[in-house]
Amino acid sequence: DAGITQSPRHKVTETGTPVTLRCHQTENHRYMYWYRQDPGHGLRLIHYSYGVKDTDKGEVSDGYSVSRSKTEDFLLTLESATSSQTSVYFCAISDPDRGGYGYTFGSGTRLTVV
């Protein structure tokens, strides 16, 4: 979707290194989410944000941190990457305050930790 972009699209990194994934939106939506998608598990929430500097943990937050210093950017950091964090990461945005509960996903980041 044109209103939300993720970078990088693909990344290979070594165990123990820090990695930061970026989600950028141009929709001015209040809520932003980071999910990981793994076979057999579907989409699982890592962290989400409900405003600048307002974030909360999801069900699989261990080993991840996030930051949101601007409305348009939501960063996901793997503090010390492990092989179990090899996954496809999706960012999503929504804005329930606008009454639509619309939900838009980014194209995903495929991360491989070797």
Partner 1 sequence: KNEVEQSPQNLTAQEGEFITINCSYSVGISALHWLQQHPGGGIVSLFMLSSGKKKHGRLIATINIQEKHSSLHITASHPRDSAVYICAVMSGNQFYFGTGTSLTVIP
Please say which residue, 79 or 97, places its beta carbon nearer to partner 1.
Answer: 97
- Return the residue of 3, 8, 80, 101 that touches partner 1, per CB under 8 A: 101
> Does residue 5 bind partner 1 (CB under 8 A)?
no
Give the binding-site size for partner 1 (rule: CB under 8 A). Answer: 26
Q: Which of residues 25-64 bind partner 1 (CB under 8 A)?
A: 31, 33, 40-45, 48, 50, 56, 58
Region from 16-24, 66-74, 76-84, 101-109 binding partner 1, contact rule CB under 8 A = 101-109
> Does residue 8 bind partner 1 (CB under 8 A)?
no
CB of 16 to partner 1, least distance (A): 28
Strand order in the sheet with 4-7: 4-7, 19-25, 73-78, 64-70
- The secondary structure of 1-54 as a DSSP string is -TTEEEE-SEEEE-TT--EEEEEEESS--SEEEEEEEETTTEEEEEEEEEETTE
Pairing of strands 103-105, 87-94: antiparallel
Question: Is the separation of the CB atoms in 31 and 104 below 8 Å?
Answer: no
The 10 Å Cβ neighbour count of residue 84 is: 9
**Interface residues toward partner 1, by CB under 8 A:** 1, 31, 33, 40-45, 48, 50, 56, 58, 90, 92, 94, 96, 100-108
